[in-house]
Structure 1
């Protein structure tokens, strides 16, 4: 089977790799360079905690693959299962955490509840005002700059053709499948996989499938290096948008942070997202609540990236509802990094076997049809 994959981020490169492993002849096309879109702008969080419950089976599948990534891809993508702690500062956050933990337990996610003394003993320096926390020991982080190129290189070794810097000019449904005309040539295949991220809704619309998607950019930052003392990824349970910060410390000592600041709107033409420096003070106040020491550290870089946010904050994933041979996997709403390997594996299974062991019904594209 010949397959064209549109979009060279984590979803697209993982899909291409797993399709090739199952015997497909794959052409992967990207409008820029591999892994330079939303993937590289990601925080690098590999978490299951707090996900919509319908995503947990896919998140479990993906976590297994993250654990196999170095051996599978032949490259260290810096996956570290250091755990994920979410701090709690008020009774509302505590109630939300306990309700979520109870609902997630039957779906295979066990969260440990930590009290004040346990936080201080196990994670000194974090959030002196926290009243409790959840801890998920098997989650962690990975390097957003490494994972998509690693999948792409592994896919290339399996025979995948990768076409970069290709502006898509036309997509046509033909008697035998699809014809994609680009600035780098024309490509034909039986199946088309739409992993175009924030641009995915535009492609879907060409086939009569409207998706309410907004393109936005997160505000991310990184500090100068500090002694490496913070192992887990750190987040928060909160009902207040301005408090929703998160951070992690990489092995080189830098602290990567995000959240709290409003996402900036992004024009898809040309699709460049720029961090807003006026939002940094509010963001840093929220981050300092989690890690007071960050108030005394220099910020060396901020950045953003173009992400697609669907109205219901769930991705679009699965078969097209209008066009045989068309498949979608886009709109992961800023929390697709952890899911990426699982998405690629699940899409390859669906395309090549016409079934998928992981439930995808909640992500179907026709959920937006007027009833």
Structure 2
């Protein structure tokens, strides 16, 4: 069978892979994207939909800010409306000492573009009267917001296709090798794809591919616990999440203009990686309702009409794998975004296209180098003082 050749081959069709395919085409590269199932199926299309910058590892804000600039240009950029609403984002807390942590984050030089406002006590409850009495303070990000994750990856894939990329769903990779300076990818149906450069954006399966190049990553798969209420009058435009170190207290919600309130947080589940299935645990819903009643007492009587999960990937330091391989020329990674990759998606695609095209990028991504796991002596990594974990949503 004649091989399919392109400049760049991408494995994994979530928002990272789809956005990368689009931006690589903007730079003139021939691109083939391979997705085992459907575009955006496992993590990119089932997440909460936060388009937030606040609460991230400070060293990630440069990338997040670049991505925010792209979000503001949708749908002009890709010809699709992803329902992005810059509604504002609030991180609230239940304890006085947590207010000091929010203040320290807001005062950091890296956070200056976020225009964060720390609101406490009476002023907080006057501005957000629906919050429960236990809420002591919050950090308000006026430019952050939310979008529809079910639309994002497919929209970027369609835009990439219109620009000339080859996007192939239902195409499962069986083997990846580098042969005579080129990457050879064989699929389970016997097709051969050949490219000079390879980008792995395979999410929770990314580590299985990096291992084939002797770059093992301790990646853990988890399933988010998501639910949505019946529609009610639209009155809560601001995205709100709890800043806490107690796992059970983590809760976040957003209301969409149609009236439904989307809820996430709490315990995650262990997905069935063999059958590629994730599950929603009944106890997760009970905890969500308990925490929602504490955060938003008015939600106590709302009916939940649907629950769902997905398959996300997490690293031990809660930071992604992003950048060039430490061992193989022409190999690049962008996976393991630890449940906080949705907002970053456009920026990751743009940065990876720049990196693959030019060999460097103007945006800070060194904290995400795969060598921190595969060859830590080669890097002097900064400490992630504000890691991007679910508790910081």
Same fold per TM (> 0.5)? Answer: yes
Displacement after TM superposition at 1:121 (Å): 3.1
Matched, 1:250 2:262: no
Indicate the residue corresponding to 2:240 in structure 1.
Answer: 234
Pick from 214, 226, 232: which aligns with 1:208?
214
After superposition, residues 168-179 of structure 1 pair within 5 angstroms as 168-179=173-184
Task: Please give the alpha-carbon distance, in whole angstroms, between the structure 2 residues aligned to 1:351 and 1:209.
Answer: 19
Indicate the residue corresponding to 1:354 in structure 2.
Answer: 359
Task: Please give the alpha-carbon distance, in whole angstroms, between the structure 1 residues aligned to 2:122 and 2:87.
Answer: 20
Pick from 276, 280, 283: which aligns with 1:278?
283
Indicate the residue corresponding to 1:220 in structure 2.
Answer: 226
Task: Please give the alpha-carbon distance, in whole angstroms, between the structure 2 residues aligned to 1:104 and 1:141.
Answer: 24
SS in 1 for 2:184: strand
Residues 183, 195 of structure 2: 8 Å contact kept: yes
Indicate the residue corresponding to 1:59 in structure 2.
Answer: 64
Residues 56, 107 of structure 1: 8 Å contact kept: no
Task: Please give the alpha-carbon distance, in whole angstroms, between the structure 1 residues aligned to 2:196 and 2:273.
Answer: 28
Pick from 102, 108, 121: which aligns with 2:107?
102
Task: Please give the alpha-carbon distance, in whole angstroms, between the structure 2 residues aligned to 1:166 and 1:106.
Answer: 41
Q: Deviations over 1:23-67 (max 9, x none)?
A: 010001001011111011100001111101111000000011111
Task: Please give the alpha-carbon distance, in whole angstroms, between the structure 2 residues aligned to 1:364 and 1:107.
Answer: 25
Indicate the residue corresponding to 1:39 in structure 2.
Answer: 44
Pick from 334, 338, 348: which aligns with 2:339?
334
Displacement after TM superposition at 1:253 (Å): 0.4
**What's the RMSD between the two structures over aligned residues?**
1.3
Q: TM-score, normalised by structure 1?
A: 0.97
SS in 2 for 1:39: coil
Task: Please give the alpha-carbon distance, in whole angstroms, between the structure 2 residues aligned to 1:93 and 1:247.
Answer: 20
Q: Which runs of 5+ in 1 are unaligned?
A: none
SS in 2 for 1:248: strand
The worse-fitting range, judged by mean Cα deviation, of 103-112 and 214-223 is: 103-112
Task: Please give the alpha-carbon distance, in whole angstroms, between the structure 1 residues aligned to 2:44 and 2:360.
Answer: 27
Task: Please give the alpha-carbon distance, in whole angstroms, between the structure 2 residues aligned to 1:75 and 1:163.
Answer: 20
Q: TM-score, normalised by structure 2?
A: 0.91
Pick from 169, 173, 185: which aligns with 1:164?
169
Displacement after TM superposition at 1:126 (Å): 2.3
Displacement after TM superposition at 1:200 (Å): 0.4
Residues 58, 111 of structure 2: 8 Å contact kept: no
After superposition, residues 50-129 of structure 1 pair within 5 angstroms as 50-105=55-110, 108-129=113-134
Q: Deviations over 1:295-343 (max 9, x none)?
A: 1000011111000001111000000011111000000000000100000
Task: Please give the alpha-carbon distance, in whole angstroms, between the structure 2 residues aligned to 1:270 and 1:322.
Answer: 31
Matched, 1:14 2:40: no
Displacement after TM superposition at 1:92 (Å): 2.2
Task: Please give the alpha-carbon distance, in whole angstroms, between the structure 1 residues aligned to 2:132 and 2:20.
Answer: 39
Indicate the residue corresponding to 2:383 in structure 1.
Answer: none
Displacement after TM superposition at 1:204 (Å): 0.4
SS in 2 for 1:118: helix
Task: Please give the alpha-carbon distance, in whole angstroms, between the structure 2 residues aligned to 1:214 and 1:37.
Answer: 14
Q: How many residues align?
A: 370
Q: Which runs of 5+ in 2 are unaligned?
A: 1-5, 378-393
SS in 2 for 1:263: coil
